[in-house]
Amino acid sequence: MFPIDFKSIQARIKTIDPKAYAKSRNFADGKVSMLSPYISRGVVSTKAVMHSVLDKHGFNSTTEKYIQELAWRDYWQLVWAEKNINKDLKKDQEGVENHKIPKAIIEANTTIDAVDKEIEHFFECGYMHNHMRMYIAFMACNVGKSHWLKPAKWMYYHLLDGDWASNALSWQWVAGSNSNKKYIANQENINKYFYSTQRGSYLDLSYEELSNLNSPLELQETTNPNFKTPLDKIESSVSIDKSKPTLIYNYYNLDPQWHKGEEYNRILLLEPSIFEEYPVGERALMFAIELSKNIPNMQIFVGEFNDLVNDNFLQEVIFKEHPLNYNYRGIQEERDWMFALKGYYPSFFKFWNKAKKEIKNYASN
Ligand SMILES: Cc1cc2nc3c(=O)[nH]c(=O)nc-3n(C[C@H](O)[C@H](O)[C@H](O)COP(=O)(O)OP(=O)(O)OC[C@H]3O[C@@H](n4cnc5c(N)ncnc54)[C@H](O)[C@@H]3O)c2cc1C
């Protein structure tokens, strides 16, 4: 489902079909691009994907939808760079009854057939369709009345494409702490987009009834799972050539094109303190390690940034800017943002309207 080698990843970018995407994106079998695990791990940038689409198809009403979705990713990352996204962003989530997660969700036993099937599939492959992510966030937060944070951490833990900005802020968007109102979907909607025929479930109600629903029995039992990143399974060993500067890679930067062909030490840094705060499961961790093999001479260091630098007497250290690198010291390089826009935009569409001008400029040159 997710090849590791860089050539296959680049080939996947070329297969994006913006027209089919715009028509079918919300359906279970929609023509989505399945690029998020590579974008999240920093193997390819949103900018490179956007340029590939614009170079091939131009900017028009057909390509706009795909590029707008890519822009959401950069938008959420910009919000993360400016705000504490681990707490309710715009207003407190209303109606919270617990800070855990409904047990039925993590056991794929919600009794909503399409949802349970997709959760099972999620455990098998580490990927979930965007619409299903929304249904699950809705069920956890707006039906089961859980605060968004714990369920978001559960999803992030299992996702190959875990990106804390897209994750936390989408959960908050569904739960209404980062949007004007809570997101709602009923059984009919789930049946339509996931081709099921279930009737009579606790979600088989009108939207008005659903917005006033008490937590149904099926979602009332909650649990507080303890997530741990299996860093102990990773062999950590580095041998530094002191005549060369050092490039630092991490869970969010595995870019094989970064300073390609130049003389550097290349270290994949896995900091226990980061994975303590943002744990990921074995599948997601191993996926990142496998992706790092696209980068020649990569070495892995499990430990904190300061220990890496001090133990190995690193002189010149270079890294890419990211909110989780706040403790790095050295030369910080810019990420490949899609647009020159920076700072916090309270609304995506304000951001998007400015972004569109840049896209049109690019497309017309
Ligand atoms: C509750 C919830 C949690 C989410 N958690 C994550 C997460 O941890 N990591 C993650 O990468 N995405 C997350 N998303 C966003 C979205 O679901 C995925 O990016 C998308 O499903 C990835 O599949 P794709 O590459 O086939 O996307 P496509 O639909 O083909 O879209 C192309 C690219 O656009 C970007 N994109 C598309 N939709 C969104 C969106 N809603 N928000 C931000 N960027 C988007 C992604 O980079 C994606 O790869 C979450 C959405 C929700 C509702």
At 46, which helix (H) or strand (E)?
helix 46-57
pTM over 0.95: yes
Residue nearest to atom 5 of ligand 1 (CA): 167
- Full DSSP string of 318-361: EEE--GGGTT--SEEE----SSS--S--SSHHHHHHHHHHHHHH
For residue 8 the two structure tokens come to: 């296959």
Strands (DSSP E) found in 246-297: 246-249, 265-270
What's the gap in Å between 287 CA and the centre of ligand 1?
Answer: 18
- Full DSSP string of 118-185: HHHHHHHHS---HHHHHHHHIIIIIIS-B-SHHHHHHHHHH-TT--HHHHHHHHHHHHTSSSSS----
Pocket test for ligand 1, best of 50, 170, 179 (most atoms within 8 A of CB): 170
Contacting residues for 214 by C-beta, under 8 A, at least 6 apart: none
What's the gap in Å between 297 CA and the centre of ligand 1?
Answer: 31
* Predicted pLDDT at 365: 83
* Integer Cα distance of 157 and 137 in angstroms: 15
Q: Which atom of ligand 1 is least distant from the CA of 136? A: 1
Same-fold call for 6-82+356-364 versus 231-333:
no
Does the domain formed by 101-223 have CATH 3.30.830.10? no
Count Cα atoms within 13 angstroms, Cβ side, for 217: 1
Answer yes or no: are the C-beta atoms of 355 and 339 closer than 8 Å: yes
Residue nearest to atom 20 of ligand 1 (CA): 130
Count Cα atoms within 13 angstroms, Cβ side, for 94: 8
Q: Which amino acid is present at 306?
A: N
User: Does the beta carbon of 161 lie inside 6 Å of ligand 1?
Assistant: yes
* Domains of the chain by residue range: 6-82+356-364, 101-223, 231-333
- Full DSSP string of 211-227: HTPPPPHHHH-EE----
* Integer Cα distance of 233 and 214 in angstroms: 43
Q: What are residue 116's DSSP bridge partners?
A: none
User: Does the beta carbon of 173 lie inside 6 Å of ligand 1?
Assistant: no
Mean pLDDT split into 10-residue runs, the chain, 365 residues:
98 98 98 98 98 97 97 98 97 98 98 98 98 98 98 98 98 96 97 98 97 96 97 96 97 98 98 98 98 98 98 96 96 97 95 97 91
Q: Which atom of ligand 1 is least distant from the CA of 171? A: 1
Does the domain formed by 6-82+356-364 have CATH 1.25.40.80? yes
Q: Which of 104, 331, 60, 80 lies closest to 202, judged by CA?
A: 104
* Predicted pLDDT at 15: 97
What's the gap in Å between 40 CA and the centre of ligand 1?
Answer: 9
What's the gap in Å between 146 CA and the centre of ligand 1?
Answer: 22
Please name the fold of domain 231-333.
Rossmann fold (3.40.50)
